[in-house]
Amino acid sequence: MIKFNLACKCGETFESWFSSSEEYVSLSKKKLIKCIYCDSSSVKKSIMAPNLSSKSNRKVGKEKEFKDIKKQLLKFRRYIEKNCVNVGDNFAQEARNIHYDKKTSKGIYGQATPEEASELEEEGIDVATIPWVNKSDN
């Protein structure tokens, strides 16, 4: 489908949809395109601007979106660092200690291998993997 802006000799303009440019030409030659205001068949295509989005606009949009996500992840990192204890490579063991010993903890974070994380989940211990954005990546 293609949309054309049309102009009539009466001075009015309007839009109309056609299945193709060729269909417009065919209907126009047969005088089947009529003005919606005065019913005249003296209708011509008028100048119209195409509605195209450039690759550069999409790239700028994606870059902004990426920056916004990084900003939110950095905010999340700061929150975790402020409110949780970094247990480093001992994450899996500390998570088990909290879970099985029913210890109260204000929360922990650290590193675990994919295998360790999978084992924790199999044991019913909730873990989450999050991207750790560098603070210098502001």
Structure confidence at residue 58 (pLDDT)? 65
Mean pLDDT of 93-119: 87
Q: How far apart are CA 137 and CA 87, in angstroms?
A: 24
Least confident of 14-28, 36-50, 110-124: 36-50
pLDDT band at 87; cut points 50, 70, 90: very high
User: What is the per-residue pLDDT for 66?
Assistant: 85
Nearest to 42, CA basis, from 28, 53, 56, 22: 28
pLDDT at position 116: 92
Percent of the chain with pLDDT over 90: 39
What's the CA gap between 116 and 130, in Å, rounded?
Answer: 15
Task: Round to whole Å and give the CA distance between 43 and 39.
Answer: 10
Rounded average pLDDT over 64-70: 86
Distance CA 46, CA 15 (A): 10
- Residue 59: the pLDDT is 67
Across the range 109-123, mean pLDDT stands at 91
Start-to-end Cα distance in the chain? 45
Contact predicate 128/91, CB 8 Å: no
Q: Is the pLDDT of residue 31 over 70?
A: yes
Query: What predicted TM-score, i.e. pTM, was given to this entire model?
Result: 0.51
- Ranges 37-46, 49-58, 126-135: which has the least confidence: 49-58
* Residue 47 pLDDT greater than 70, yes or no: no
